[in-house]
């Protein structure tokens, strides 16, 4: 397949999984764009087939002068994804300004743009629907994503080609090792348990009991399948939530991780009561620095995605995290 595709953030968690999904469909004419200051990210590209790699600092100028010829689609995953980053100028340059350049390019050339937004846009809201009334970011990262979504919203009536934004909820799965502190709770729970025999979660906060804060956790494979569904359906543009539509607790994640490992070690599963009483599951005080900046509950309203006929099925936590734990355990053993 000779269609040229660009993936920004290509060596990152989601970008590399998108390339994997494209490779599985036979797409290899892929230009990967990233910043490899963190060289460990390069390992995410080792088993993938691409046609070229560019540093992000060289890419945008090259794109705008037409260096790459006809480009079918851009999967724009490149961004600073740290919700605790306080340098607003850096965030806005890295997340907002670059996205605007790609939008202008797509409308000028007919290249389709499938880009990463974020559920951080909802922030303090308790309703997670793609409407302005519920968009209340708690940090500059969330604001940078919201501002670009607003630009896209205004452009929707006059678009000349597909532009679709996806508000990712809590994504987990293979190829996130380089993310360190920003990696998923499933990843951290696995590594804690393998290293110490226990898993630590936040204690009670607000109206939520210890470990009962809930998020909409989505397996990265499902996220990629949705993005590829849109790649197959260029007639659909807009801004869409991308979660499962079902909130599950951090306790659910920890229990699934621990019992997944125990199963592979030949031990019987434990209840959460057993885990707490034996110290396998520990709760730590909720950090002061996260107070009033933390989403204790997220659950994607999936109506807009369902309304256009997207038929991707999603793994729940027991299914998706169990698969992920098997992958992590196999790598840990090697």
In DSSP terms, 217 is beta-bridged to: 170
End-to-end CA separation in angstroms for the chain: 34
Three-state DSSP class for residue 48: coil
Which of 231, 264, 211 is closest to 161 using CA atoms?
A: 231
User: Long-range contacts for 207-212 (Cβ within 8 Å, ≥24 apart)?
Assistant: 207/296, 208/296, 208/297, 210/283, 211/249, 211/250, 211/251, 211/254, 211/281, 211/283, 212/249, 212/250, 212/251
CA distances from 82 to 64, 200, 324 (A): 27, 21, 23
- Alpha-carbon distance 224 to 75, whole Å? 11
Selecting among 56, 179, 200, 246, the annotated active-site residue is 179
Residue 117 to residue 114: CA distance in whole angstroms: 10
Q: Which residue among the candidates 105, 115, 122, 141 is catalytic per the annotation?
A: 141
Helix (H) or strand (E) holding 225: helix 220-232
| Cα gap 54→178, rounded to integer Å | 19
Structure tokens at 88: 């607003």
179 is catalytic: yes
CB-based burial label for 259 (10 Å; 0-12, 13-18, 19+):
buried
Active site residue 294: no
Strand partners, 32: 7, 53
Residue 264, helix vs strand vs coil: helix
Where in the sequence numbering do the catalytic residues fall?
A: 141, 179
């Amino acid at each position: 397949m000779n269609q040229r595709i660009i993936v920004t953030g290509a060596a990152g968690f989601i970008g590399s999984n998108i390339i994997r999904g494209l490779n599985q469909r036979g797409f290899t004419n892929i230009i990967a764009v990233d910043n490899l200051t963190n060289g460990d990210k390069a390992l995410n590209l080792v088993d993938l087939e691409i046609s070229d790699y560019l540093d992000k600092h060289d890419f945008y100028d090259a794109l705008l002068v037409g260096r790459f010829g006809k480009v079918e689609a851009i999967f724009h995953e490149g961004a600073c994804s740290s919700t605790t980053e306080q340098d607003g100028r850096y965030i806005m340059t890295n997340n907002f300004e670059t996205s605007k350049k790609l939008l202008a390019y797509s409308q000028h050339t007919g290249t389709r743009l499938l880009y990463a937004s974020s559920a951080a846009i909802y922030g303090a809201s308790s309703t997670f629907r793609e409407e302005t009334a519920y968009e209340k970011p708690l940090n500059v990262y969330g604001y940078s994503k919201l501002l670009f979504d607003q630009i896209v919203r205004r452009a929707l009536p006059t678009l000349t080609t597909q532009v679709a934004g996806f508000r990712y909820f809590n994504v987990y799965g293979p190829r996130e090792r380089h993310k360190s502190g920003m990696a998923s709770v499933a990843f951290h729970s696995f590594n804690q348990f393998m290293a110490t025999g226990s898993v630590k979660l936040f204690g009670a906060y607000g109206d939520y009991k210890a470990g009962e804060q809930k998020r909409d956790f989505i397996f990265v494979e499902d996220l990629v399948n949705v993005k590829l569904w849109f790649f197959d359906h260029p007639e659909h543009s807009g801004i869409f939530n991308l979660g499962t539509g079902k909130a599950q607790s951090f306790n659910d994640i920890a229990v699934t991780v621990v019992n997944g490992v125990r199963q592979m070690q030949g031990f019987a599963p434990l209840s959460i009561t057993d885990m707490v009483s034996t110290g396998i599951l520990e709760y730590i005080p909720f950090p002061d620095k996260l107070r009033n900046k933390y989403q204790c509950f997220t659950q994607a309203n999936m109506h807009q995605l369902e309304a256009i006929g997207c038929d991707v099925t999603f793994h729940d936590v027991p299914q998706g995290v169990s698969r992920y734990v098997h992958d992590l355990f196999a790598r840990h053993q090697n």
